Every structure is written in structure tokens, then in C-alpha cells.
Amino acid sequence: MRLILLTCLTMIAFAANSVLNRMAIDSGAIDPSSFAMIRVLAGAVALCMILTVRGGGLPLFERGRVVGALSLAAYMIGFSLAYVTLDAGLGALILFGTVQVSMFGWSALRGARPTTRQVTGAGIAFAGLLIALWPSDGAGGDMIGALLMVIAGLGWAAYTLAGKGTRDPLSATAANFVVAAPLLAVLLVGTGLHAAPSGIALAILSGAVTSGLGSALWYTVLPQLQGQTAAVVQLSVPVLAIAGGAMLLGEALSLALAMSAALVVGGIAVAVIAPRVQEDHS
């Protein structure tokens, strides 16, 4: 029961990032650049505090740190800028679908031999992404916002792949947040920056709690979950974001969004459970 509860809290935290970002930016309380900078700074502070309590060093100069920090910065930038025009649920769906499909494609390029079922599932998910990316006012966004979220998804996929096999994911994540902070400061400094207290509060909440503590919680429960279970439970993130956007932000639930969500979530579910299905029948 405890594991189930912690896993649910983690998925809610991940989905809340989309809702908080859209809430802050759409209200005009903060600009996307300031939100991204404050979010990564708050996440770095929260993760370093967790490391201080837990014990352990901050591996700022380990191999792969530059790749990890750059990909994290790309995710943060694309994520915040995309929510100028995208609804929370649609943004989460594009992000999640891009991450899963791109990681699947990377594995195939690296020599992994996908099964027919995995290819079919990835194809279904990709079709759902195309529907989500298709310009439509009824879908709650536009092509520029969708492409920015694709960039965020590619950044997060690269970040995940770069962190695979790390001995201490929590300390590596903290180090990536610390190194990414000055990168964001350089890349995002410009005109039009503004931040009201409510926008700053939402950015800190997103960075410290739903990003920082959410990541720490995920690394706590991940070793206790089977590989396929860990993949499947993440399917709930875009669904939760869509529900949160509808309830808290009044976002419309269009037919195109529903079709896209069904195809993306269903296709990825088919792909990630394929190895388990084969094992069960071997």
C-alpha cells in the first residue's frame, strides 16, 4: 500500500508540472524565461538540501555532466515556452509521447531488435502524436507551441538516456540542476522578463516540490518497481495532466485531444508490455 501511494504521488507531481507552468504563464503572472530559471534554481536548492540530509557528494565534474545539463536546459526552455500557447493536458501528452517514441527509436538505432508488437505499438503512439501536433484551435494549441514541446521531449529523452546506469541518480540529478542553472541564465536573459509574486511562487513550487522532490520520490520507488510496471505507471501522467487542466484551468476536452491521448497512451502500453507478454507465453 505504501509503495502504491508513493507511486501515485510521484505521478501526480509530474503531471502537476504541466498544470503549474500553464497556470503561471497563461495568467501573465510570469514570463516563460523567468519561470524556467526560477524552476531550475528551486529544484537545485531542493535537491541539494535532500543530498545534505541524506549524505553524499555533488558530482559536478563527472563524465556526461555537460550532456545531462544541456539536455535538462533544453527540456526546461522548450517546456516553459511551449505553454505560452499549449493547454496543460496537450503539452503533457506531446512531451510524454515524444520522450517514449524517441527513446524507442534510439534503442532500435543502437541495435535492439524490436518485436512486431513493439513496432506496432510505437506506430500507434506516433499516429497519436501526429494528431496532437496537427494545427487545430480545438486542440488547445498551435504548431509552434507543439514543436517547442517536441524539443522539450527530445531534451528529456536525451537527459534520461544520459543518466542511465548512473550509480547515484539523485546526486547526478542534483548536479545536473546546478550546472543547468547558469546555462538557463545565459540562454534566457533578455527583454520582457517579469514576475509577480504569484508567478514566482508557482515557479518555486514547480521546481522545488513537483520537480525536485518529485524526482527524489521517483528514485525512491523506482528500485521497488518492476521494469514494465515503472513504464506502465507513467502512462498516467498525460491523463492526469489533461484532467488537471480541465478541472483547474477550465481547458476544453476536444475530440482530437481524446483521440490523440487514446492512441499515444494505448500505443505505448502495447509497446512496453510486449516483452512481458512474450515472456509469459514462452
Beta bridge partners, 30, equal: 195
Q: What is the pLDDT of residue 282?
A: 43
Average pLDDT of the chain is 84
The whole model's pTM is what? 0.83
Count of beta carbons in the 10 Å neighbourhood of residue 136 = 16
Q: What is the pLDDT of residue 139?
A: 47
Q: What is the pLDDT of residue 275?
A: 53
Instruction: Name the nearest CA neighbour of 47 among 176, 201, 186, 203.
Output: 176
Q: What is the pLDDT of residue 200?
A: 96
Distance CA 107, CA 93 (A): 21
Q: What is the pLDDT of residue 261?
A: 85
Q: Give the burial string for 26-57 (b: 16+ CB within 10 Å, else e).
A: beebbbbbbbbbbbbbbbbbbbbebbeeeeee
Q: What is the pLDDT of residue 40?
A: 95
Q: What are the structural domain ranges in the chain? A: 2-280
Q: What is the pLDDT of residue 227?
A: 59
pLDDT by residue for the chain (282 residues), tens digit each? 788 888 889 889 989 999 999 999 999 999 999 999 999 999 999 999 999 998 888 988 887 788 989 999 999 999 999 999 898 988 988 898 888 788 878 877 887 777 788 788 878 888 887 887 776 554 445 788 989 999 999 998 888 888 776 788 888 889 999 999 998 888 777 667 889 999 999 999 999 999 988 888 887 787 777 655 666 677 788 888 988 998 999 888 888 888 888 888 888 788 777 554 444 444
Q: What is the pLDDT of residues 224-249, one digit of tens each?
A: 776 556 666 777 888 889 889 989 99
Q: Grid cell 514566482 — which residue?
A: 200
Q: What is the pLDDT of residue 136?
A: 59
Q: What is the pLDDT of residues 127-146, one digit of tens each?
A: 887 887 776 554 445 788 98
Rg (the chain; Cα; Å): 18
**Residue 45 CB partners (closer than 8 Å, separation 6+):** 208, 212
**Residues 50/170, Cβ–Cβ less than 8 Å:** yes
